[in-house]
């Protein structure tokens, strides 16, 4: 028997959460199915002592775009599947693998379907993606949703899809964020943190005027860490200049998990004003690292933050500013109690639980001999 694990992530650097899902899923598969697992990936994973088909992508950005547009990776995986005749194919992302074997997909969110206006500039590519995604949802034997909220959204957006094949497997927090660590070095000024991509529905451009309106820029900084470009975009720079924040907002690109944990641990709070999230790993990681969280009262974020976070309407600059002010004014005892609630909330989301739920769902899909 062969269980094929298809690593069809477009960009490992930018899709940090998707990469985590793949690694945790493969770890669960290897622990349960052993040498039956076959990894097909452009990466090599030395931590997994199973067969691996290395499928390197064309070099350069143009090569990557052609690979994504033409589906070259999934075409090659289809050839592997034809030869191996797997009992199951797990795809960490949507794709076009051709096989008679049952296929499994991880479902991250319904953001494009819910917020098409945020993707208007890429309308042709988005339309093509939605068609491909829908085909995957329809052909998939099992759809693994990364939160209860995503499972609910999937059923609402695609009511014709059999709800019995949708299984929620909420994500977990990496042990590096939960582990005991020395206190972070003292900062010249207290600071808030923003994490992740900044464009579109991530709503970063609403955080900048909120930070200015809160009045906290007189005494605090805002530290931003993101994948991608090492500088702020032109609209972001214009917003920084408009509010006189050029010296108060600092950008880090692609920090390690250890550096992220240190940033979180030294922060007053993570401020996460996303309009929509399928899960919201930064919320979980910040609470685990020992800081407070102010986030949106939308989508999956209350599911992840529980009663340990401060919530605001992400479309209201005043509401975002108000939450930041509330957190900044907490007494020492109030902050300590809130930190304890956050740490307890984060510990409810474990990768051990994710792996157990994933293996149980996968095993139910494997045809019996």
Domain of 309, CATH number, reads 3.40.50.2000
In a domain, 368, yes or no: no
For residues 201 and 161, membership in a common domain is answered with no
Examine the domain organization and report whether 150 and 183 are in the same domain. Answer: no
The confidence band for 126, taking pLDDT boundaries of 50, 70 and 90, is confident
Residue 185 has what pLDDT? 77
Between 119 and 112, name the one with better pLDDT: 112
Q: How high is the pLDDT of residue 179?
A: 84
- Please say whether the beta carbons of 70 and 10 come within 8 A: no
Burial class (CB in 10 A: 0-12, 13-18, 19+), 90: buried
110 and 193 inside one domain: no
Tell me the DSSP string of 152-185. HHHHHH-TTS-GGGEEE------HHHHS--PPPP
Give the lowest-confidence range in 3-12, 25-34, 39-48, 144-153: 3-12
Helix (H) or strand (E) holding 253: strand 249-253
13 confidence band (pLDDT: 50, 70, 90): low
Q: What are phi and psi of 157, to 5 degrees?
A: -75, -35
* β 249-253/3-6 pair status: unpaired
Flag whether pLDDT at 66 surpasses 70.
no
Model confidence at 12, in pLDDT bands (50, 70, 90)?
Answer: low
Looking at the fold, whether 31 and 147 belong to one and the same domain comes out as: yes
How many helices (H) and strands (E) the chain has is answered by 15, 13
Higher model confidence: residue 367 or residue 63?
Answer: 367
Q: Are residues 293 and 338 in the same domain?
A: yes
**What residue ranges in 266-321 does DSSP mark as E strands?**
269-272, 292-296, 310-312
pLDDT per residue over 35-53, tens digit each? 999 999 999 999 999 999 9
Mean of the per-residue pLDDT values of the chain: 92
Regarding pTM above 0.85, the answer is yes
Determine the pLDDT at residue 63. 66
pLDDT confidence band for 20 (50 / 70 / 90): very high
Residue 145 placed within a domain: yes
Q: Is residue 369 part of a domain?
A: no
C-beta separation of 260 from 276 below 8 A: no
Q: Does residue 154 sit in the same domain as residue 179?
A: no
**Which domain range does residue 167 map to?**
3-172+351-363
Residues 189, 301 share a domain? yes
Residue 269 forms part of a structural domain: yes
Write down the pLDDT at residue 62: 67
Give CA–CA dist 169/107, Å, rounded.
Answer: 10
Q: What is the mean pLDDT of residues 77-95?
A: 95
Q: What is the mean pLDDT of residues 356-369?
A: 89
Question: Residues 20, 152: one domain?
Answer: yes
User: In the chain, how many domains are there?
Assistant: 2
Can you give the pLDDT at residue 295? 98
């Amino acid at each position: 028997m062969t269980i094929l694990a298809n690593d069809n992530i477009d960009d490992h650097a930018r899709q940090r959460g998707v990469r985590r899902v793949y690694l945790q899923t493969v770890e669960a598969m290897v622990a349960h199915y052993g040498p039956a697992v076959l990894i097909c990936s452009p990466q090599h994973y030395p931590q997994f002592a199973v067969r691996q088909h290395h499928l390197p992508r064309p070099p350069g950005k143009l090569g990557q775009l052609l690979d994504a547009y033409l589906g070259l990776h999934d075409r090659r995986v289809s050839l592997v599947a034809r030869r191996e005749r797997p009992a199951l194919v797990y795809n960490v992302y949507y794709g076009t693998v051709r096989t008679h074997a049952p296929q499994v997909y991880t479902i991250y969110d319904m953001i494009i379907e819910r917020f098409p206006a945020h993707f208007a500039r890429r309308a042709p590519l988005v339309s093509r993606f939605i068609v491909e995604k829908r085909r995957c949802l329809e052909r998939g034997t099992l759809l693994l949703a990364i939160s209860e909220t995503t499972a609910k959204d999937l059923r609402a957006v695609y009511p014709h899809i059999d709800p019995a094949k949708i299984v929620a497997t909420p994500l977990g927090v990496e042990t590096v964020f939960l582990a005991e660590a020395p206190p972070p070095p003292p900062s010249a000024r207290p600071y808030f943190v923003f994490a992740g991509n900044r464009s579109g529905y991530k709503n970063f451009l609403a955080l900048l005027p909120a930070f200015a309106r809160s009045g906290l820029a007189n005494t605090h900084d805002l530290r931003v860490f993101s994948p991608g470009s090492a500088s702020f975009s032109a609209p972001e720079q214009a917003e920084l200049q408009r509010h006189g924040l050029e010296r108060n907002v600092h950008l880090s690109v692609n920090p390690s998990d250890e550096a992220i944990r240190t940033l979180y641990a030294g922060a007053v709070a993570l401020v996460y004003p996303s309009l929509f999230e399928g899960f919201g790993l930064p919320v979980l990681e910040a609470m685990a690292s020992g800081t407070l969280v102010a986030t949106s009262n939308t989508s999956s974020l209350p599911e992840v933050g529980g009663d340990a976070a401060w919530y605001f309407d992400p479309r209201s600059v005043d509401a975002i500013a108000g939450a930041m002010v509330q957190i900044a004014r907490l007494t020492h005892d109030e902050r300590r109690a809130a930190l304890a609630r956050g740490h307890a909330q984060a510990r409810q989301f474990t990768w051990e639980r994710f792996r157990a739920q994933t293996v149980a769902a996968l095993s139910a899909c494997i045809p019996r001999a």
